[in-house]
Amino acid sequence: MIKQVQNNYSPPELEKRVQQRWIETDAYCKTKELRASGQDYYFVDGPPYTTGSIHLGTALNKIIKDSIIRYRRMQNFNVRDQPGYDMHGLPIEVRVEKSIGIKSKKDIEDYGIDRFIANCRDFALSHQKMMTEQFKDLGVWMDWDNPYMTIEPTYIEAAWWTLKKAHEKGLLVSSNRVISWCPRCETALAEAEIDYWEERDPSIYVKFPLRNEPDVSLLIWTTTPWTLPANMAVAAHPEYRYAKVRYNREGDEDTIILLEELIEQIGQLEDWESHEVLEIIEGTDLVGTEYIPPLEDEVPVQKNVSGEWVHHVVPSSTVEADMTGLVHIAPGHGPEDFEIGKEFGLDVLCPIDESGKFTAEGGRYEGMFVKKADPVIIEDLCLKGLMFHDDSIDHRYGHCWRCRSGILFRNTDQWYLKVTEVKDLMLSEISRVKWTPEWAGSGREYDWTANARDWCISRQRYWGIPIPVWTCANGHMKVIGSRDDLEGGENYSPNMDLHRPWIDDVVLKCEHCDEDMKRIEDVLDVWFDAGVASWAALGYPREKAEFERWWPAKFITEAHDQTRGWFYSQLGSSCVALERAPYDEVLVHGWMLDGKGLPMSKSKGNVIEPSEVMEEFGADALRFYLLRVSAPWEDVSFQIEGVRNARRTLNILWNVASFATMYMSIDGYDHLASDRVLLKDVLRPEDRWLISRVEGLKSKVSKNIESCDLHRACRIIEEFILEDLSRWYVRLIRDRMWREANDLDKLAAYYTLYEGLMTATKLLAPFCPHITEEIYQAMDGSLDTVHMTDWPVSDNNLISEDLETSMSIMQELVDEITKERQKKNVKLRWPLQRIIVSVDDASTIDHILPMRDVLLSQANIKEIEFISPGEEWDGLILDAAPNLRAIGKAYRQLSTQVADLLKSTSAQDIKDALDRGDLSFDIDGKDIVIEPEMVSFSTSVPDNYAAAEFKHGDLFIDFNMTPELRAEGFAREIIRRIQQMRKDMELDVEENIRAEINASEDIEENLRPWQDHIMKEVRAIEMRFIDNPQGEHKVEWDIEKQDVCIALTSVRES
């Protein structure tokens, strides 16, 4: 039974009502049960960090996921939709540190690791619950009662198993290397954990005096003075040409060695007046040159290091031809420097500790934080006369992704996954996976992977998955793959917490020497946590059946920054452990930006909370806006006006539903019980047109969702709602709604409207689940939720290109007539006598004829006339103008007289004579023959006509107003006013009224012939013209600049 929807669309109220209904009917679970026998479809949710409320970017991410999941379910896929949460790592630790007033690792250990971990767990769990509720408010359907959480024992085991597989393949190693380091968090960082932005740093040119020629110096440039205490060498490119140059200035000179092509550029730094090139040195000849380290006296360890290449120039093809062409090498403070150091046997001097302060090896800088040591080092260089030029520079510098501290490079022992050993496999898998857009895979992901180094997976922190490596004093190592491997260990119990500090107390016996084995203290990179999600979420390896059934993932989607994050960490982990990518299809979506295209941040004050948007416009409007505004892979500059427009579209859909359910519920229309065969025989052309459009809509929307063009799918649905359904079809059938309930023509309109509205509702359901649920329950409701219905499939037999062309031409003609009406200030309610349509092709008439009645009714025209191709409307006024230039060439002095004779002759007579080839005049006895080129013809429309062009020809509109037309116009005006008054009185559609009208004699005379028609249209049982109208509702109207008073009284049945 069809039920009438509420008159007004109030999204917040509606959405709360719908969500409560979902809970009461257990709609989500029933939908999953319904599709349980369908083809399995494994979707993996990229886990957000549980660090705070969701933001617009998080909302966009979940909205896209929810839309795809709902779509697949309606296609009868059995979708696995377990949500995930990333609950370890620095994102959580930093927030907890702030909440309890902790500023360093020492503070944590003084506070107690166990207490700190408990706080981290509580923080993560509370925010996980809060975020879940916020996702639910968005209307997102996932298995919220069974999320995968990276803190769970089975998840930790999956990470351990992965590392054990890596160890078995020789891909897990401990290595001493230089790594990015956060001095505030005192831990190693991977490249994916570094954010870059512009920062001002020193830009200094320093002289390194030659050991055997102290008055000559190598010139190097650096932005990190704090690395100079660890200098071990200078690199030069063996294929470059260098120069020994003496720079001169009044009373001053300096001799330096630098790249030959930079002589002029360097000379400008200190305004040297002149220079003299003393010697050109080939790069290969410069190699081996010994120099005195600039801070040899301040850093005593510099005098104690030894080696063939220590404090010498070494060759390197990595040196670029800029700045000075010579590079200061500190193997302890740069990955490239480290590799050069290994090549030439240089000591890896790294005189800074975990907090970024100089150690005793830092000499006079001991205890200073490196950045605070910069000005001290610069001052020392200046005092020693080794500063050639001192400046500053704005450049991109890396910062810790969580605490925002500037990163350092330190030499440390870390654990690595040797992804470089499986890089070829990773690149091959990237090429196999389907990426949307394609360039996200072939470009970004491929390039990132191709340039990737071994993955540093160890972190010197607390709240994370403990690295499952136990070692003994004799250097033996054991990698644990599950809790089972810990059985029998000292302090181990089956139900123990696997986090620090408890796991640190588990002691194993070494299988090789029987010594005690203790776990290394490091925890895993949080990206590794997320990287194992596709099998960890399935409980693998403990639960093998689920893995064998579901894995790998059919589809995943995250933002484009995850090419170096989650997409990469999954790919690396999976290729190491399972020798293939863990996903088959990836949709890469964009970021959410503010209205100016800038990233949102609380510090900038430009953050827009999803909850605030939903409170005003509703979740569906936000969802629809975010999905339709641009391609998923493009960044979105958020505009609140876009959400407002989306709500407007949904309001129009609601109005169509209100219109449909109002009439259908009154008549007790039952779509399922209707005789479809009988109704199809009585469908009007406009009905068959809408059905054709509906079938095409199904196909287009499905095609665009399949290609992940969600924006196009939404725009196509929106256009159908606004144009086909609301603007045209509802307008076309309004008059049919007033017929008897069992009238076949009315039932045909009901049948067509129902098909159009319900199809649009189902197609929109994945994107806007609340409003579509409410409409479905009113229109059908045979299932617990619209999301249990099957996805609409197109019937191409019902698509008619001819009918769609016919309607398109009709719509264009109506639009052109409307424009001309506006120009002449003639409202659509006022009928016009006729239009004349002149066509370029006979097929246009064939296309218009099926829609003739539609055209006449929608344009409010009484008659239509057609002019065939090649013919001209005989109502046009023909004008003829003499062509003086052509006449003058033939008749010179007589040209004026000839022109006057032509002007005095009827244009039609001239044309007829020229067509016969017989037009001449006699002037002073001379025969003047008029040739066609001597006359130009044009046409104009008669008075009170308008002319317009359309794609297929010309249109002429008769605006002459007859008394009969005028009377009908006044009748339509009165009907509109009374209908508005009925609406204001909130009368039911079937409720009768009495009407009293006071109008001028002119209007009254015009209305009397139409009185019966007016009464029928407004459901009046009585309509009287009196001097002083009285009733329940009385309004003074201005109709065509005349005062009309109307009073209505409802006639309610007892």
The answer, yes or no, to whether residue 952 has pLDDT greater than 50, is: yes
The token duo for 129 is: 């619950």
Q: Which residue has the higher pLDDT, 599 or 311?
A: 311
| H or E element in which residue 678 lies | helix 676-681
Mean pLDDT over residues 544-568, rounded?
96
Note the pLDDT tens digit of each residue in 182-199: 888 888 887 778 888 889
In sequence order, what are the residues at sequence separation of 6 or more whose Cβ sits closer than 8 angstroms to the Cβ of residue 203? 221, 223, 391, 392, 393
- pLDDT for 251: 76
Rounded CA gap, 663 and 746, in Å? Answer: 10
- pLDDT for 2: 94
Q: Is 764 helix (H, G, I), strand (E, B) or coil?
A: helix
Residues 313 and 291: beta-carbon distance below 8 Å: yes
Note the pLDDT tens digit of each residue in 101-126: 998 899 999 999 999 999 999 999 99
pLDDT band (50, 70, 90) for residue 1054: very low
Note the pLDDT tens digit of each residue in 39-93: 999 999 999 999 999 999 999 999 999 999 999 999 999 999 999 999 999 889 9
| H or E element in which residue 995 lies | strand 992-998
Sequence-distant contacts of 936-941: CB under 8 A, at least 24 apart: 936/880, 936/881, 936/882, 936/883, 937/878, 937/879, 937/880, 937/881, 937/907, 937/911, 938/878, 938/879, 938/881, 939/872, 939/876, 939/877, 939/878, 939/879, 940/876, 940/877, 940/879, 941/875, 941/876, 941/877
**Closest by alpha carbon to 225, among 405, 397, 390?**
390
The answer, yes or no, to whether residue 1038 has pLDDT greater than 90, is: yes
* Residue whose entry in the numeric block shows the structure tokens 């377990």: 82
Cα 585-590-594 angle, rounded to 5 deg: 165
**Closest by alpha carbon to 139, among 85, 75, 29, 65?**
65
Rounded CA gap, 581 and 571, in Å? Answer: 5
Query: In sequence order, what DSSP letters do the residues of 54-97 get, joined into one string?
Result: --HHHHHHHHHHHHHHHHHHHTTEEEE---EEB--SHHHHHHHH
489 CB-contact burial (10 Å; exposed 0-12 / middle 13-18 / buried 19+): middle
Mean pLDDT over residues 991-995, rounded?
93
Share of the chain above pLDDT 70, in %: 100
The gap from C-alpha 567 to its chain's centroid, in whole angstroms, comes to: 18
Residues 584 and 555: beta-carbon distance below 8 Å: yes
DSSP3 helix / strand / coil % (the chain, rounded to 5): 45, 25, 30
Residues 43 and 70: beta-carbon distance below 8 Å: no
Global pTM exceeds 0.75: yes
Residues 903 and 882: beta-carbon distance below 8 Å: yes
Residues 232 and 346: beta-carbon distance below 8 Å: yes
The answer, yes or no, to whether residue 924 has pLDDT greater than 80, is: no
Q: What single DSSP character describes residue 851?
A: G
The answer, yes or no, to whether residue 738 has pLDDT greater than 90, is: no
In sequence order, what are the residues at sequence separation of 6 or more whose Cβ sits closer than 8 angstroms to the Cβ of residue 225? 202, 204, 373, 374, 377, 378, 381
Q: Which residue has the higher pLDDT, 250 or 669?
A: 669
Q: Is 948 helix (H, G, I), strand (E, B) or coil?
A: strand
